[in-house]
Chain A
Amino acid sequence: MASPDADDQELVAAAQGGDRRAFQTLYQRYERKVYAVAYGFLRNQEDALDVVQEAFIKVHRYLPNFEGQSSFYTWLYRIVANLCIDHIRRSGRKRDVEFDDKIRHDGAGESSAKLIQIAALGNPAEAVRNKEILKAVRESLSQLSDKHRSVIVMRELQGLSYADMAKSMECSKGTIMSRLFHARRNMQKLLKERLEYEPRDPAEASTDSVNQEAAS
């Protein structure tokens, strides 16, 4: 039986040999990461949990065919991305406002606006612990179109290559490159707008958040 501290490769090998505990360890190792990805795509807790379940059942089913040419988590994330994209297609949902690639960021002086945004975030290391900023990021992400949000999640969270993303989204690498560029731009715009509604001193907000966390 594989140790819970074993690396992915060992656990995968044990699971391929029928060790159910090894597979459970893999599940426990990735359950929240997979959920985070699925939630990023779908923005719904139950849908995301359904994808978690479906993904691991699928992984187990195809585990005998996994030859380890890519890392386990890359393989797992590809499966999750495909399931999420299928889910979005099946649901046939469309956002009321599909952001056109050129709508939100074709003005002059784009770069200087982004630099202001960076300043509003304060220290990046503290920003990632600031609940208000994280909430603003999440809300900005949910305002993106499905396609833009998908490429953001696949790249920023899953680290998928352009080729893998293109395969999942059934388009060319050039389309992915362009789509990702515009998605990032829109994301920055939306985040800036959200943070501007609360013109607080970022350093103060960050400190408040940390204090609240310590108190709770």
Chain B
Amino acid sequence: MMRESIGNSSISDEALAAYFDGEATEADAKAIREAIEGDPDLVAELEQLGVMQELTEASLQAVAAEVPQARFEQIWDQIDSAIEADTSVAAPVETPANLWERLKAAFAPVKWPLAAAGAAAVITVLAVGPDDSTEADGTDPIAKGETNKAPATPSVSPAQDGVPTPDTPPSHSPTPMNPDSRLAHGPSATEAVHPLAPLPDDSMVELHEIDGAGNDVRISNSGTVTVLYVEEDAQDQGSERSL
């Protein structure tokens, strides 16, 4: 580190610069103040530091003065947009409170009847089991159409385009199924759609009705899983799809 002394004093250039910048230690500052009184070189050096500082500042301010005000206004517009974007990101986003709410929002309203039918069918089989599906009196609870445990309505009501919609009332009600044939065919009786009810605590669910909307409904039971097949009329299907 260079330690030049100035004039006849023992004050180094760096120490003097630190004093000029207000960064000298208390002891150094005191020594420099005393030295300055009898040393014109030190005074000149301090003056020069002051002049250079003023010139540096003035030269860069002159550069800044050359920039048109409109340019700074453009910059502000960009800053303002960025602030706006920041504010938008920081705003709270409304989200459903829990998983159930989000699932309900995802399925409602279109998919509820189909989802309920599928869930109820599977839950029934899992809860009761294929071997237990026959009650003491030897009848299949599904075929009996009992609703004593849960009034769930697994009603499948295809609309005209074949897509189940909750707003379309069922045009046909299911025919109670024969456990031997496990085949239902409509149209037959009509029943009102039951409102969706929560699942019972004991998980015992029975299908109350299956609405095939005039199509064949077949149930396949492979032990633990029951699958519902809805067979559309081939001719109608073709004509609908042609639309």
Q: Give chain A's interface residues, CB within 8 Å of chain B.
A: 20, 23-24, 27-28, 31-33, 35-37, 39-40, 45, 49, 52-53, 56-57, 60-61, 101-102, 106, 110-111, 114-115, 117-118, 121, 124, 127-129, 131, 133-135, 137-138, 141, 152-153, 155-157, 161-162, 174, 177-178, 180-182, 184-185, 187-188, 191
Say yes or no: A161 contacts B23, CB within 8 Å: yes
Q: List 25 A-B contacts (CB under 8 A).
A: A24-B80, A31-B76, A39-B63, A39-B64, A49-B67, A49-B71, A57-B83, A57-B86, A60-B86, A61-B86, A111-B45, A118-B51, A124-B54, A127-B51, A131-B62, A134-B59, A134-B62, A137-B59, A138-B62, A138-B63, A141-B59, A156-B52, A156-B56, A161-B23, A181-B13
Known contacts A24-B76, A156-B57; decide if A32 and B2 are in contact (CB<8 Å): no
A35 and B67 in contact, given A127-B51, A156-B53 (Cβ under 8 angstroms): yes
A184 CA to B61 CA, complexed, in Å: 19
Q: CB distance A57 to B17 under 8 Å?
A: no
SS class, residues of chain A in contact with chain B = helix
Q: Judge whether A157 and B60 touch: CB under 8 Å.
A: yes
A134-B55, A177-B14 as given contacts; A36 in contact with B64, CB under 8 Å = yes
Among A20, A27, A39, A161, contact of B60 (Cβ-Cβ < 8 Å): A39
CB nearest neighbor in A for B56: A156
Known: A106-B2, A128-B55. 15 other contacts (CB 8 A): A28-B76, A32-B61, A32-B64, A39-B63, A40-B60, A118-B47, A134-B55, A153-B60, A155-B21, A156-B53, A174-B1, A177-B17, A178-B2, A181-B14, A188-B52
Q: Which residues of B contact A110 (CB under 8 A)?
A: 4
Quick check: A177 and B18 within 8 Å, CB to CB?
yes
Q: Complex: how many Å from CA A114 to CA B49? A: 10
* CB of A154, distance to nearest CB on chain B (Å): 11
User: Chain B residues with Cβ under 8 A from A162's Cβ?
Assistant: 18, 21, 23
Give every chain B residue within 8 A of A53 (Cβ-Cβ).
75, 78-79, 82
- A180 proximity list for chain B (CB < 8 A): 17, 21
A40 to chain B, nearest CB (A): 5
**B16-31 near A? 1/0 per residue, CB < 8 Å:** 0110010100000000
Number of A-B contacts (CB under 8 A): 141
Contact at A137–B55, with CB atoms within 8 Å? yes
Q: Which residue of the partner chain B has the closest CB to A181?
A: B14
Shortest CB–CB separation between residue A153 and chain B, in angstroms?
8
**6 A-B pairs with least C-beta separation:** A137-B59, A128-B58, A36-B64, A36-B60, A32-B64, A134-B59
B residues 75-107 touching A (CB-CB < 8 Å): 75-76, 78-80, 82-83, 86
Chain B: interface secondary structure? helix
Assuming the contacts A20-B80, A53-B75, A111-B41, asked whether A135 and B59 have C-beta atoms less than 8 A apart, the reply is yes
Give bound CA distance, A79 to B53, whole Å.
22
A32 and B58 within 8 A (CB): no
> Within the assembled complex, what's the spacing in Å between the Cα atoms of A114 and B44?
9
Given known A56-B79, A111-B7, A161-B23, contact A133–B55 (CB-CB < 8 A): yes
Considering the complex, give the chain B residue whose CB is closest to the CB of A134: B59
Least CB distance from B85 to A in Å reads 10
Distance between B28 CB and nearest chain A CB, rounded to angstroms:
12
Does B183 make an interface contact (CB < 8 A)?
no
Q: Closest approach, in angstroms, between the C-beta of A203 and any C-beta of chain B? A: 16
Q: How far is the CB of B35 from chain A (nearest CB, A)?
A: 15
With CB as the reference atom, state the residue of chain A lying closest to B60: A36
How near does chain A come to B81, taking the closest CB pair, in angstroms?
10
The chain B residue sitting closest to A173, CB to CB, is: B23
Docked complex Cα distance between A48 and B63 (Å): 11
CA distance A157 to B50 in the complex (A): 12
Is B65 interfacial (CB 8 A cutoff)? yes
B2 near A182: Cβ-Cβ < 8 Å = yes
Bound Cα distance from A135 to B147, whole angstroms: 96
Indicate if the CB atoms of B72 and A102 lie closer than 8 Å: no
Task: Assess whether B6 is interfacial by the CB under 8 Å rule.
Answer: yes
Which residue of the partner chain A has the closest CB to B57? A157
B7, B44, B65, B76: residue with the most chain A Cβ atoms closer than 10 Å: B76
| Given A162-B23, A177-B14, CB of A138 within 8 Å of CB of B59 | yes
